[in-house]
Structure 1
Amino acid sequence: MKLVYLLGLGAFALGLDAYVTAGLLPSIAADFDATVSATGQMVTAFTLAYAIASPIFATLLSASRVRTGLLASLAVFALANAGSALATSLPVLLITRAFAGVGAGLYLALAASAAASLVDRERRGRALAVIMGGMSSGTVLGVPGGVYIAQHTSWRATLWLVSGIGLVSLLGLLLRLPQLPATETISLRRRAQVVTDPRVASVVGVSLLAAIASLGLYTYFVPVMATGAMGGVENITPYLWAWGIGGVVGSVLIGSLVDKVRRPATLVVGILIILTLSLLAFRLFASFTPLLALLPIAVWGAVGWALQVPQQNDLLTARGERGGPVAVALNESALYLGSAIGSGLGGAAFAFGWSGSVLPLWAAGFAAAALLLQLTAVRAAAKKSSPATTSNAVPAATYATD
């Protein structure tokens, strides 16, 4: 598991970068004399690039060059963040955020697949939880800290911090990560068939809708809490901590549950129910007093992060080496595409002069749609999986870790 934690360190840098920008929107908008809606599109640029790059590069990457892909993607990510810190205009910032999204998209997909391969099947859920835990820890530790740094220095200093952590992670992997044994070489056509697998498509669809709900709302966390209907909160830091701490707890605890439960996919139903209710409670509680909203915000963070561990496990179980990395990459792509859609819809709402207080209700609606899809299409696809399909999902290779 030591190497898995090293991979998780890289995920920590990604988690910090992906979510700290939500807390930096006002200061970046002021620096470039732009609207919050326009500045929020840097999140869209990052997430769209992530969504596009993740499945494409995971499909094209040679099965014998996983280590090279991990290192190259993390290098692109770190350098792009340095470029973001040096950006002199909003268009330049949008371009560098897109490159950061490309690096992040490929790295996280490969890291999840490699982590699952570095342990035996009985510990795969915990290994995947380490990667997601790295992402969520980057949020709970990095986002409030990054916002604090930005408030006392500048938003550029925060992005320099992200770049520095990425470079440290890159150096550690360069020194410690061995050349990963090659898996079976799969043709581009056979890899592309993963996309048309009904089980993969339905699982990815659930991830997409849940991401629109959870990550899309988080992009506009600051302006949403600043609205009068949500209490007019000015100090957002405690709420960021609540969401982040919930995320760490959820992503860590879910790993053991996935390993113990006979059918981990059934956990997704409960997670989506709780996500829907927590988003509704967030809106309701904040209307009374913002402090009451801390509890549903923490629950929202916990289940939002926990969801992806059983999702990734389900995809790896269904596809194994024969498309497993591509399926995971496609799922990660859906997460960030969902975030891009959510941030785009939120930006449109603000552009039309709507109150940010409606966004939690929209988010709850998308979470409910994800639940409906899980109860129908995902279950139906799993039941229709033939023995032949299952036989293709061979277990991933196991490598020595200690």
Structure 2
Amino acid sequence: MKLVYLLGLGAFALGLDAYVTAGLLPVIADDFHASVSAAGQMVTTFTLAYAIASPIFATLLSASRVRLGLLGSLAVFSLANAGSAIAGSLGLLLVARAFAGVGAGLYLALAASAAASLVDEKRRGRALAVIMGGMSSGTVIGVPLGVFIAQHSGWRTTLWLVTAIGLVSFAGLALRLPVLPATTSVTLRQRAQVVTDPRVASIVGVSFLAAVASLGLYTYFAPVMASDIMGGVDNITPYLWAWGIGGVIGSFLIGPLVDRVRRPYSLVVGILVLLTASLALLRPAATVTPLLALLPIAVWGAVGWALQVPQQNDLLLARGDRGGPVAVALNESALYLGSAVGSGLGGIAFSLDWDGAVLPLFAAGAALLGLVLQLTGVRAAQRRPAGVPVQAEPVAADAGS
């Protein structure tokens, strides 16, 4: 498990980078004399690049070079954040965020599969929870710290902090991570065949809708809470803490539960019910008093982060050693594609001068659709025989990694 925690350290850097920008949107928009919706597209760019990179680059990477892929993706991620810190225009910032998304997408897909391969099956849920826990810890610890630093030293300093953490993670992995076992090579065509598995398609669809709801709304956390209807919150930091602390708790508690429940269908149903309810109650709670909104925000963070652990585990169980990692990569792609779609739709809402208070209601609707898909598509697919793992010709291990 020590090596799994080392992989989780890299995920910590990714979690900080992916979510700190939500708290920096107003500052970045002012710096570049742009609208919040325009600045918000750097989140869309990051997540869209992430979604594309996860399946494509994982396929192009040689099956015997997982360690090289982990190190290379983390290096791209760190250098792209350095580029973000020195960007002189919003356009250059968007380009840098895209490269950061490519590095993050490949790293997390490889880290999840590597973590699962480093432990026995009985501890797979815990190993996956460490990766997601690293992401959520980067949020709960790093995001408020990053916003605080930005308020006192500028948003560029925050991105330099992300760069430094990424490089430290890179150095640790370079020194400690051994050559990982080669996996079976899977082509893009075979990857597409995994999607045709009804169970995989329905599980990935649930992840997509949950991401539209949860991560899409988080992108505009600051302007949403600044709405007069939501109480006109100026200091977003306590609310970021509530969401992040909830995420850390949910990420780490869900692992042992998944290990005890071999088919975590009911866990996912419960998580989606809580996600829908917390998003739906966010606006009414804030209308009474913004402090009351801390409760649904904490629940939202907890279940939003907890969801992906049973999702990843269910995909690994459904597809086996060959198809499982492929399905996990597709799930990660859907997760961040959903985030990109959610943040893009939020940007459209702000460009139309809609009040930010409407976004939690739309997010609750997306989560409800995910719940319906879980109760119908996933349940129906579970009644069918599990999909046959993707067949692929073994490839010779490349020398070195």
Tell me what 1:181 maps to: 181
- Is 1:113 the equivalent of 2:109? no
User: Structure 2 vs 1, CA of residues 105 and 315 (structure 1 numbering), >3 Å: closer, same or farther?
Assistant: same
User: For the Cα contact (< 8 Å) 2:323–2:389, is it kept in 1?
Assistant: no
Query: Matched residues in 1 for 2:16 and 2:128: separation?
Result: 18
User: Structure 2 vs 1, CA of residues 226 and 187 (structure 1 numbering), >3 Å: closer, same or farther?
Assistant: closer
TM-score w.r.t. structure 2 length? 0.96
Deviation at 1:217, TM superposition (A): 0.3
Deviation track 1:164-222 (CA, whole Å, cap 9, x = no partner) reads 10000001000100001112334443333112221111100000000000000000000
User: For the Cα contact (< 8 Å) 1:58–1:325, is it kept in 2?
Assistant: no
SS of 2:116's equivalent in the other structure is: helix
Moved over 4 A (4+): none
Deviation track 1:336-389 (CA, whole Å, cap 9, x = no partner) reads 111111111111111111100000000000000000000011111121125x72
Query: Matched residues in 1 for 2:164 and 2:265: separation?
Result: 37
User: For the Cα contact (< 8 Å) 2:322–2:389, is it kept in 1?
Assistant: no
Tell me what 2:388 maps to: 389
Tell me what 1:19 maps to: 19
Structure 1 range deviating more: 326-335 or 368-377: 326-335
Query: Matched residues in 2 for 1:105 and 1:270: separation?
Result: 28
Query: Matched residues in 1 for 2:378 and 2:305: separation?
Result: 20
Deviation track 1:136-165 (CA, whole Å, cap 9, x = no partner) reads 000000000000000000100000000110
Amino acid at match of 1:17: D
Alignment of 1:301-316 (within 5 A): 301-316=301-316
TM-score w.r.t. structure 1 length? 0.95
Query: Matched residues in 1 for 2:328 and 2:348: separation?
Result: 30
Query: Matched residues in 2 for 1:243 and 1:323: separation?
Result: 33
Tell me what 1:56 maps to: 56
Query: Matched residues in 2 for 1:11 and 1:320: separation?
Result: 24
Tell me what 1:199 maps to: 199
Tell me what 1:377 maps to: 377
Amino acid at match of 1:389: V
SS of 2:383's equivalent in the other structure is: helix
Query: Matched residues in 1 for 2:390 and 2:12: separation?
Result: 35
Identity of aligned residues (%): 79
Amino acid at match of 2:388: T
Alignment of 1:139-158 (within 5 A): 139-158=139-158
- Is 1:289 the equivalent of 2:285? no
Deviation at 1:326, TM superposition (A): 1.8
Deviation track 1:257-287 (CA, whole Å, cap 9, x = no partner) reads 0001132122100000000001111111001
Amino acid at match of 2:267: L
Tell me what 2:78 maps to: 78
Query: Matched residues in 2 for 1:385 and 1:210: separation?
Result: 26
Structure 1 range deviating more: 244-253 or 188-197: 188-197
Tell me what 1:248 maps to: 248
User: For the Cα contact (< 8 Å) 1:247–1:303, is it kept in 2?
Assistant: yes
User: Structure 2 vs 1, CA of residues 242 and 62 (structure 1 numbering), >3 Å: closer, same or farther?
Assistant: same
Amino acid at match of 2:232: G
Deviation track 1:224-262 (CA, whole Å, cap 9, x = no partner) reads 000000000001100000000000000000000000113
User: For the Cα contact (< 8 Å) 1:194–1:323, is it kept in 2?
Assistant: yes
Tell me what 1:171 maps to: 171
Deviation at 1:58, TM superposition (A): 1.4
Tell me what 2:91 maps to: 91
Query: Matched residues in 2 for 1:389 and 1:112: separation?
Result: 21
User: For the Cα contact (< 8 Å) 1:247–1:305, is it kept in 2?
Assistant: yes
Deviation at 1:56, TM superposition (A): 0.9
- Is 1:267 the equivalent of 2:264? no
Amino acid at match of 2:194: V
Structure 1 range deviating more: 260-269 or 231-240: 260-269
Amino acid at match of 2:124: R
Amino acid at match of 1:141: I
Give the aligned CA root-mean-square deviation in angstroms.
1.4
Amino acid at match of 1:40: G
Structure 1: segments with no counterpart, 5+ residues: 393-402
Deviation at 1:323, TM superposition (A): 2.1
User: For the Cα contact (< 8 Å) 2:190–2:390, is it kept in 1?
Assistant: no
Query: Matched residues in 2 for 1:188 and 1:349: separation?
Result: 35
SS of 1:271's equivalent in the other structure is: helix
Tell me what 2:123 maps to: 123
SS of 1:384's equivalent in the other structure is: coil
Deviation at 1:60, TM superposition (A): 2.1
SS of 2:322's equivalent in the other structure is: coil
Query: Matched residues in 2 for 1:362 and 1:189: separation?
Result: 35
Tell me what 2:361 maps to: 361
Structure 2: segments with no counterpart, 5+ residues: 392-401
Deviation at 1:390, TM superposition (A): 6.9
Query: Matched residues in 2 for 1:187 and 1:147: separation?
Result: 42
Structure 1 range deviating more: 321-330 or 285-294: 321-330
Amino acid at match of 2:265: A
Amino acid at match of 1:182: A
Deviation at 1:320, TM superposition (A): 2.3
